[in-house]
């Protein structure tokens, strides 16, 4: 039982430290220069997406639309370098 409690406490500490790293990363991401919205839209269109909605979502740009095959797509882009942060 004692080992279980120690393991649980260790996981809790790791979870808290990961949250502080993520917060610090978000702060530095917002401090870095980002691509202009028009540049991002051009890049998204060149990647084959049709844009139905384009909006900032936290520290990323959220693009809702359709991919080159006509399927619905929700893609989050990193505003600093234009890379895909996540697809939904």
What was the pLDDT predicted at 87? 87
Query: CB of 59 within 8 A of CB of 29?
Result: yes
User: What confidence score (pLDDT) does residue 77 get?
Assistant: 92
Quick one: which of 43, 35, 50 has its CA closest to 80?
Answer: 35
- pLDDT the model gives residue 3: 54
pLDDT recorded at residue 6: 52
Residue 88: the pLDDT is 78
Domain 33-88: CATH architecture, name and number where available: Roll (3.10)
* pLDDT recorded at residue 22: 46
Helices (H), the chain: 2-31, 37-46
**Domain boundaries along the sequence of the chain:** 1-31, 33-88
DSSP alpha helix (H) spans, 32-84: 37-46
Termini Cα distance of the chain:
41
The C-alpha atoms of residue 82 and residue 87 are separated, in whole angstroms, by 14
- List, for the chain, all residue ranges whose pLDDT scores fall below the cut of 50: 4-5, 8-9, 11-24
């Amino acid at each position: 039982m004692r080992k279980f409690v120690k393991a649980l406490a260790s996981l809790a500490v790791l979870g808290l430290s990961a949250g502080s790293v993520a917060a610090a990363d978000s702060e530095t991401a917002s401090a870095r220069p980002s691509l202009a919205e028009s540049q991002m839209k051009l890049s998204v269109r060149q990647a084959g997406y049709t844009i139905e909605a384009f909006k900032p979502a936290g520290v990323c740009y959220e693009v809702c639309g359709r991919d080159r095959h006509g399927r619905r797509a929700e893609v989050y882009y990193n505003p600093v370098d234009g890379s895909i942060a996540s697809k939904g």
